[in-house]
Amino acid sequence: MKKPILPQPQFQSHLTQLIFDLEHLRDRDLKGSTPAWLFFDLKDIMHQLESLTSARIEGNRTTIMSVVENTIDGDKATDDESLLELRNIQHAIGFIEDNIANAPIDRAFICEIHKIVVKDLRRDSSKKPGKYRTADVEITKSSHKPPAHVQVPHLMEALVTFIDTPNEPQYDLLKTAIAHHHFTAIHPFDNGNGRTVRLITYAMLTKQGFIDDKGFRLLNPSAIFCMDRQKYYDMLARADKGDEKGTLEWCEYVLSGIKVEIEKIEKLLDASFAKQNIIIPALKLAKEKKQITDIEHEILLIAMDKSPFQVSDIQHLFGKTDSARVAASRAVKKLRDQKFIMVHPNFKLKYVLRFSNNYLLRGVMQQLDVHDLLPIEPTS
């Protein structure tokens, strides 16, 4: 295998236009009008979708709604290997977000991601978690033959050097695309390579500023590859040829997907769109299914609009008697216990709406599907 190098697209090419467009999006303030409570719930959902889409590329048949039900039930199904695989990916995302600011994407970082990804699995585990393979392998349904195992350390060292060598910002996404392909071609581990490489892509996009869990930037990069798995494999095969044409086609495929995903997230970061098209319909569905009462529905609408709210903001819903405040306080406590609201981190007696780990999540996922914001069908 050749060492990875940055391609040089022609100035008038579509790929160059994508680079310009994505640089513009990176420079923009993507916070929009989204309040913090909405952003962090959306972040939780993006993490769930990232883990699900990455796992499904490898054949995991867990549905979005299965993940929703498991989340609502409190993440109890620890004996379900399919759900454990998703949880491992979410833990790896957490590891990346906790460490990427101060850590290079080196061998230790990559091996730790692999170790987390395969932890406690039986069917899709690894004989040597966190260590490069010591035997030759073949890739199922691929004509590409990975290099001999004795070459893996040298090839991975070259890849890590490529990733961590400074470059002009406009080459960042080209580097991410090239690194993704080269890792896949090397196939450095005995199992879990696909999940690991997509997490490395997540890490690179985070380090480049396209994902920022504190700066209101969300992205689900595995959705790029999950929407059409066969196209993903076909595009990797084009890049496997090692010629400039195939490499540029692969890069254009990756950057086009990133642009589409960023544009989807921008819609969600518009508070007006999110509230009217996602949150309000989810609240209505929960009320219709009697998961919340009429008065709880009213409280949660107030929570959405005022953000944060306090007991005095909902007291009028319980009448004008002296006992109204007591009744309002009890209603708030019940909603807190059911995880529909949470205490605002900066205000002890103020609350914000939550939907990422309660019955509202069902309606939210349905509405994301209605507006074509899910990477896969919720019941597929």
Domain ranges of the chain: 14-268, 271-370
The CATH architecture assigned to 271-370 reads: Orthogonal Bundle (1.10)
Q: Is the dihedral of CA 153, 156, 158, 161 positive or negative?
A: negative
| pLDDT for residue 2 | 85
Q: What is the mean pLDDT of residues 74-86?
A: 76
Q: Percent of the chain, pLDDT > 70?
A: 95
Residue 217, strand partner residues:
212
| pLDDT for residue 30 | 55
CATH topology agreement for domains 14-268 and 271-370: no
CA distance 215 to 316: 36
Among all chains, which residue has been given the structure tokens 């490489």? 197
CATH number of 14-268: 1.10.3290.10
Q: What is the mean pLDDT of residues 217-223?
A: 87
Residues 166, 15, 216, CA angle at the centre, nearest 5°?
A: 65
Helices (H) and strands (E) in the chain, counts: 17, 2
User: What 3-state DSSP class applies to 353?
Assistant: strand
| pLDDT for residue 72 | 82
Whether pTM exceeds 0.85 = yes
E strand segments, the chain: 341-343, 351-353
Residue predicted with more confidence, 216 or 170: 170
How do residues 21-73 score in pLDDT, each as one tens digit? Answer: 999 888 775 556 678 888 888 888 989 999 999 998 988 888 888 888 888 87
Report residue 271's pLDDT band, with 50, 70 and 90 as the boundaries.
Answer: confident
Residue 79 reports pLDDT greater than 70: no
User: What 3-state DSSP class applies to 370?
Assistant: helix
| pLDDT for residue 76 | 58
Count the Cβ atoms, other than its own, within 10 Å of residue 294: 10
DSSP track, 155-176: HHHHHHHHHHS---GGGHHHHH
Q: What is the mean pLDDT of residues 336-348?
A: 90
